[in-house]
Amino acid sequence: MNTIAPAQLLSSLNWRYATKVFDPARAIPVETWAALEETLVLTPTSFGLQPYRFLDIRTPAVRAKLREHAWGQAQVTDAAHYVVFTARTEMTEADIDHLIARIAEVRSQPREASQGYREMMAGALLASGRKAHLPAWAAHQAYIALGELLTAAAILGVDACPMEGFDRAKFDEILDTQKDGYTCVVSAALGYRAAGDKYATIKKVRYPKAELVKVV
């Protein structure tokens, strides 16, 4: 496998910033977007359960409605893509069986071969007392996907802006996510920065490494 030099990674991560003004005329090439979608799909999750869905909002009227409930932020309508990350609000036996079926399909093995794994997941997720923690657990997996996507976009030279500032209840209503047992947790706009975005050139602010990374 080809790898990149550490300096190239850092150059990409320093190039990225939370893009405020996107060029609304510039699309993401099809092959690049396909790789970013695949990055979302390949996200590692707890037990491999993938308790999320990613909504690629392409309908301009829907984008306009969402923007109203996201402090009017222009990225929602102007970026080439606007992705809403939704996570499961509960987990049931059916979710676990769905994964077991998929394992059997992908690995060409009988479902029974995953019986032990099935019981381990059921114990961890369906035990009484766990129910209240599941929405947070599912949201965490969606945030792993967000982190993966942001890094992947940077090394492909795609601009992005992670966005938490929106009314989740309103987003759920507009996107009708609850009917399938999902709720909106975070979002990201992706595309290319407009030439005039002043945030592109101001210095990135991070705490010193010694403050954030502690050797124990």
Q: Is 38 in the site for a copy of itself (CB under 8 A)?
A: yes
Report the site for a copy of itself in 167-206 (rule: CB under 8 A). Answer: 175, 186, 202-206
The span of 38-46, 72-80, 89-97, 193-201 binding a copy of itself (CB under 8 A) equals 38-46
Report the site for a copy of itself in 86-105 (rule: CB under 8 A). Answer: 99, 102-103
Nearby residues of 188 by Cβ (< 8 Å), 6 or more positions away: 82, 83, 85, 146, 149, 150, 160, 161, 162, 163
Q: How far is the CB of 163 from a copy of itself (least distance, A)?
A: 10
Nearer Cβ to a copy of itself (196/209): 209
Report the site for a copy of itself in 111-170 (rule: CB under 8 A). Answer: 136, 139-140, 143-152, 155-157, 162, 164
Q: Is 60 in the site for a copy of itself (CB under 8 A)?
A: no
The DSSP code for 2 is: -
Q: How far is the CB of 11 from a copy of itself (least distance, A)?
A: 6
Let me know: does 154 contact 160? Beta carbons within 8 Å. Answer: yes
**Could you give the CA distance from residue 26 to residue 22 in angstroms, rounded to a whole number?**
8
The span of 13-21, 72-80, 88-96, 192-200 binding a copy of itself (CB under 8 A) equals 13-21
Q: How far is the CB of 175 from a copy of itself (least distance, A)?
A: 7
- Torsion angle (degrees, nearest 10) of CA 81, 158, 86, 131: 180
**Could you give the CA distance from residue 176 to residue 13 in angstroms, rounded to a whole number?**
35
Q: What is the CA radius of gyration of the chain?
A: 19
